[in-house]
Amino acid sequence: MYIFLTIISSILTYAFIVKYEKKSFFDKKNIYLFLFSYFVTTTINHLIIYIILGNINLNVTMLSLTPSFIVKYNLMTVVTSLFILVCYFIYKHVHITKNKYNINKRGYLFTNIYYSIIFFMIFAIFFFLQYYSNVPAEQLMFHLQTPLEGTATSIIFNFLLKTLIPTLICVFILYFQIKYFENKKIKIVFAFKKLNITILPIFYCKKKIKLGALITLLVLIIYAFYNYDIFSFVRNQFEESSFIEDEYINPNDVELTFPEEKRNLIYIYLESMETKFSDYTPYLNDISLNNDRFSSNGFYELVGADWTIASMVAQTSGLPLKFSVDSSSYNVNNNSFLNGVVTLGNILEDNGYNNYLYIGSDAAFAGRDLYFSIHGDYEVFDYYSAIEEEYIDDDYYVWWGYEDKKLYEYAKDKLLELADEDGPFNFTLLTVDTHPTDGYLDETCENNYSYQYANVVSCADKMVGEFIEWIQKQDFYDNTTIVISGDHLYMESSSFINSLNASDRYVYNTIINSTQKLSGSIERKYTALDLFPTTLASLGVEIDGNRLGLGVNLYSNEKTIIERYGFDYVNEKLKKKSTFYQDLSLYS
């Protein structure tokens, strides 16, 4: 049926061509024109169908056709025919003429270098705007100060695919037209009546093209600065705020009373997990409904806690991760990462806990291994640890290292080992399958949804749900508190997020088997900062004043900073420069 309809549109195209050429419609000599019309029309029509539908069903019969289908299909074929006619018209009026210009080889070399740099920067900006338009400026600046080792090879490959290859294609086109047209002293001109347009070589318009490419780059840079709010970020670096100094409660100045029998802590960071995914997370939904949640929505994503390491810092220290002009705050080479800040890991270590961090990627990425080793002497198990201990082969590499399915299995082995040892433990996991872009869909996962990321989230939900069920069957569970928390909102700009009508988005959080009891259903406005004292309280720790860092124990009646001041106000204050924060983070 598609073929039948395509023949109709091909005949229509052929009729226009022979009419334009003033030839006989039934002339046998024009058979090549009909074949040209048929094959080109068929190719373009089916390409459009494939792009729109994702497949081409050649089994459509007359009985299954609807008037709507026939109208839409033939409108498409008419548009295709007109497109072919326009191309044919251009072709008939293109002429090749001699060219009197010569190549300046030195200028040609520098021109290609110039184009390579400009095009690469243009495509690079397009890439980040397409996939990471929601990334905060603070995160960009932080990563400029820390090594990028450990970045997923898939992300690097995707970046090169979307930037380097288009750049090479553009530069090659310029090289090709100069090499094979200008050396032969010819040029291609479109001439129609009094209109003359040089199509090739473009080299003779090089000043205009250079200027156009430069203007395009500058416009994109300005737009990127606007999108990432760089202008406000720079301005905030010169505006001092005392907000952190006025509100910060140093844990060293607070009396913390641990229970006689210390409880174990299992802390699970779920990459990019937010409550807007509830249609795909039945396990997490059930966990949240049957355990401690401080809001039916989740927690607000605050500036300085809106990417992975920043959120981990906020949830364990009650402080945002702020960019500092003084890069020594995060100097990996000097073993410096907020050295003066007292964290959850420090407090637990001082009270006899053994701390562990399990990650399926390279822990060195963004200085995670440094932060947790300084703050609590965590034993870190990451991708390279798995190789060293022969859990995986030397050449094994999936997504960011090894997938979450393996992470949970390794975690089970370690937890069983820890359960047989003396002393309480703090066991922290960070998942990675749900990391942008599009996540990693494990081969064991079901593929029930049209969006890959929906399948990834659904599978991640099932994995963590089964992991929690496993923990609850173990002997050590009765004396163990579990914190499940997203690290931040999903960053990628995608059709999946758009399909969720994703406004009013919140990060997922639930506490299981806490020593504290919530008095009925509560609705708190809170952030990652509040999880620092709240986690300690869930372990039965009495906190004098119920405040640590900038956070508040959510089991208490103490108001959080966003409940007292409002979310927008706090966000704006935290963006500004804080000399107190810089001094606190630099000196232990």
Does residue 341 have a pLDDT over 80? Answer: yes
Distance CA(204)–CA(191), nearest Å, equals 17
Contact 258, 265 (CB under 8 A): no
| pLDDT at 60 (0 to 100) | 46
DSSP state of 249: B
Give residue 37's pLDDT. Answer: 66
Angle subtended at Cα 250 by Cα 248 and Cα 255, rounded to the nearest 5 degrees: 130
Q: Is the pLDDT of residue 4 over 90?
A: no
Cβ burial of 41 (10 Å; 0-12, 13-18, 19+) is buried
Highest mean pLDDT among 111-125, 165-179, 187-201, 266-280: 266-280
Q: What is the pLDDT of residues 158-206, one digit of tens each?
A: 777 778 888 888 777 766 666 555 555 556 676 766 666 665 555 545 5
Instruction: Name the one residue in this structure whose structure tokens are 């795909």.
Output: 280
pLDDT of 85: 67
Q: What's the confidence (pLDDT) of residue 55?
A: 47
> Is the bond preceding 61 in cis, omega lying within 30 degrees of 0?
no
Residue 286, both tokens: 């059930």
Q: Averaging pLDDT over each range in 53-62, 184-193, 406-415, 510-519, which range is the top one?
A: 406-415
Residue 62 C-alpha from the chain's centroid: 46
Give the Cα separation of 274 and 436 in Å (integer). 13
Cis peptide preceding 201, ω within 30 of 0: yes
Distance of CA 449 to the CA centre of its chain: 20
Average pLDDT, the chain: 80
**Mean pLDDT to the nearest integer, 333-354:** 89
Q: In which residue are the tokens 């251009």 written?
A: 90
**What is the rounded radius of gyration, in angstroms, for the C-alpha atoms of the chain?**
31
| Alpha carbons within 13 A on the beta-carbon side of 379 | 11
Confidence of residue 43 (pLDDT cuts 50, 70, 90): low
Among candidates 557, 490, 451, 552, which has minimal Cα distance to 273?
A: 490
Note every long-range contact of 198-205, with CB atoms under 8 Å and residues 24 or more positions apart, other chains counting: 199/94, 201/99, 201/177, 202/174, 202/177, 203/101, 203/103, 203/108, 203/111, 203/174, 203/177, 203/178, 204/101
pTM (predicted TM-score): 0.71
Residue 104 has pLDDT above 60, yes or no: no
Helix (H, G, I), strand (E, B) or coil at 438: coil
Unique residue bearing structure tokens 């706090």: 570
Give the rounded distance of the alpha carbon of 94 from its chain centre. Answer: 46
Length of the chain: 588
